[in-house]
Amino acid sequence: MRISELSARSGVAIPTIKYYLREGMLHQGEQTAATRAEYDGTHLRRLRMIRALLEVGRLSVASIKKVIESVEDESLPTHEMLGTAHYALSPAVEPEPDEEWQAARADVDALVEELGWDVHSDAPTRDELAQTIVRMRQLGVSIDLAPYAEAARKLVAEVEMGTIPFDGPRDAAVEALVLGTVLYGRAFDALRRMAQESESARRMTH
Amino acid sequence: MRISELSARSGVAIPTIKYYLREGMLHQGEQTAATRAEYDGTHLRRLRMIRALLEVGRLSVASIKKVIESVEDESLPTHEMLGTAHYALSPAVEPEPDEEWQAARADVDALVEELGWDVHSDAPTRDELAQTIVRMRQLGVSIDLAPYAEAARKLVAEVEMGTIPFDGPRDAAVEALVLGTVLYGRAFDALRRMAQESESARRMTH
């Protein structure tokens, strides 16, 4: 298909497609004439993935670029590629140089240990959770993370992991992991806010 | 305390505090001289709430303003105030004018009906979930939302609702609802990505 059809079918404007091509986020089409290239289903799928990560995942273009680079770097072993792509999904969190932060981070490390989870000591999710705990404590929001950890583990082990083709081609595995992380995450978040509305309504009218 | 101390204790820069005062997002301090005002714990708490919504919730300043306005509008009945604040937490999603969207939105409505949840037909979460489903389908990500809905319901009913003081002052209830929504949401999301890392590591090394 030509770029105009690719644009129409993906819902991504032509200048944006050209930007992704220049940035290497989208592979070149097959040049059929000096000013004309042909695109195919792989281009359409990549554009839909970028759009989902932008709109649904609310990732920055820089983060999406990192995800795509790790998929395309053939020298990375599969588990490192998955790790790099996965870490790119975490928001950048700056550790704060005070005791509150250190206490929260120590609590996160203790929780991971207690859960027996296999999470790298440098994983950005540890700092992300530490930041959340610091903010909760400053605001006096009490928290027991155990039921959240158990619900997360259950959904990941029983639903999400089954959808990832670990034995297939590497880009299929990373795409499934990244999209699953982002899309199931948004779905869960919307459902949780629906449940809050529903439970609030019940408690206020009874 | 003076504005310099308020800044040091909240971690919010003085020009930003002045901006919040001008925008009505922070109530004025007690004027003790022409160029001097005294602030107290209520100011500190409000600033910490704004900071948590910005950094952890990644809400826009416009959304935070809407949340604060609904808390301060005494003419709103409590359940409407909670609803307005809660809806401000949802990202703005534009319905798309095609059949794919309509089918996804119909599926969301059917799901809410089946769950027996009390969610307003105009709730922004319905469109948010519809958008997520459209993107999933375009990318061929298969999804069974039932386990997510059940996990969400359980966490909300058994953990989160217990932390909201529905019978106390209205600002305490809305603050607890808003902060709980945002902070527990971030905590769950980080835990879920940790669980993914852990489960992936296990499946790839065994």
Q: Which two tokens stand for residue B20?
A: 């919040």
Please report where in the chains the tokens 């409590």 appear, as a residue: B78
pLDDT attached to residue A123: 92
Mutate to test the interface with B, among A113, A193, A199, A202 (most CBs of B within 10 A): A193
Please report where in the chains the tokens 């505090």 appear, as a residue: B17
Sequence-ordered alpha helix ranges (H) in chain A = 3-10, 14-23, 41-51, 61-72, 78-88, 99-115, 124-138, 146-155, 170-205
pLDDT attached to residue B116: 94
Asked if B152's CB is within 8 angstroms of A118's CB, the reply is no
Considering only CB atoms, which chain B residues are within 8 Å of A186?
Answer: 128, 132
More confident residue, B49 or A129: A129
Mean of per-residue pLDDT scores for chain A: 87
Q: Is B78's pLDDT higher than 80?
A: no
Q: What pLDDT, in 10s, does the model give residues A51-109?
A: 888 887 778 898 899 888 887 888 887 777 778 888 888 877 888 888 999 999 999 99
Range A102-117 average pLDDT: 95
Considering only CB atoms, which chain B residues are within 8 Å of A49?
Answer: 139
pLDDT attached to residue A69: 85
Q: Is B54's pLDDT higher than 60?
A: yes
- For chain A, domains (ranges, CATH) are 1-56 (1.10.1660.10), 77-88+144-206 (no CATH), 90-142 (no CATH)
Give the pairing of strands B30-33 and A36-38: unpaired
Q: Is B14's pLDDT higher than 80?
A: yes
Report the DSSP beta bridge partners of residue B38.
B30
pLDDT attached to residue B205: 64
Q: Is A204's pLDDT higher than 90?
A: no
Range B49-61 average pLDDT: 82
Q: What pLDDT, in 10s, does the model give residues A160-199?
A: 888 887 777 777 777 788 888 888 888 999 999 999 889 8
ipTM over 0.90: no
Give the nearest partner residue to A183 out of B135, B196, B203, using CB atoms.
B135
Considering only CB atoms, which chain A residues are within 8 Å of B149?
Answer: 191, 195
What are the angstrom distances between the C-alpha of A64 and each of A59, B135, B167? 7, 16, 45
More confident residue, A133 or B72: A133
pLDDT attached to residue B112: 95
Q: Which two tokens stand for residue B170?
A: 């209205």
Residues 6+ positions from B2 with CB-CB distance below 8 Å: B36, B37, B38, B39
Q: Is B203's pLDDT higher than 70?
A: yes
Range B142-149 average pLDDT: 86
Q: Binning pLDDT at 50, 70 and 90, where does residue A205 land?
A: low
Considering only CB atoms, which chain A residues are within 8 Å of B166?
Answer: 203-204
pLDDT attached to residue B77: 79
Nearest CA in chain B to A145: B187
CA A137 vs. chain centroid, Å, equals 26
pLDDT attached to residue B206: 52
Q: Binning pLDDT at 50, 70 and 90, where does residue B12 land?
A: very high
Residues 6+ positions from B29 with CB-CB distance below 8 Å: B3, B37, B38, B39, B40, B43
Asked if A155's CB is within 8 angstroms of B147's CB, the reply is yes
Q: What pLDDT, in 10s, does the model give residues A125-168?
A: 999 999 999 988 887 777 789 999 999 999 998 888 888 877 77
Q: Is A114's pLDDT higher than 90?
A: yes
Range B179-185 average pLDDT: 85
Q: Which two tokens stand for residue B137?
A: 């389908």
CB pairs under 8 A between A and B: 256
Q: Is A111's pLDDT higher than 90?
A: yes
Range A16-37 average pLDDT: 92
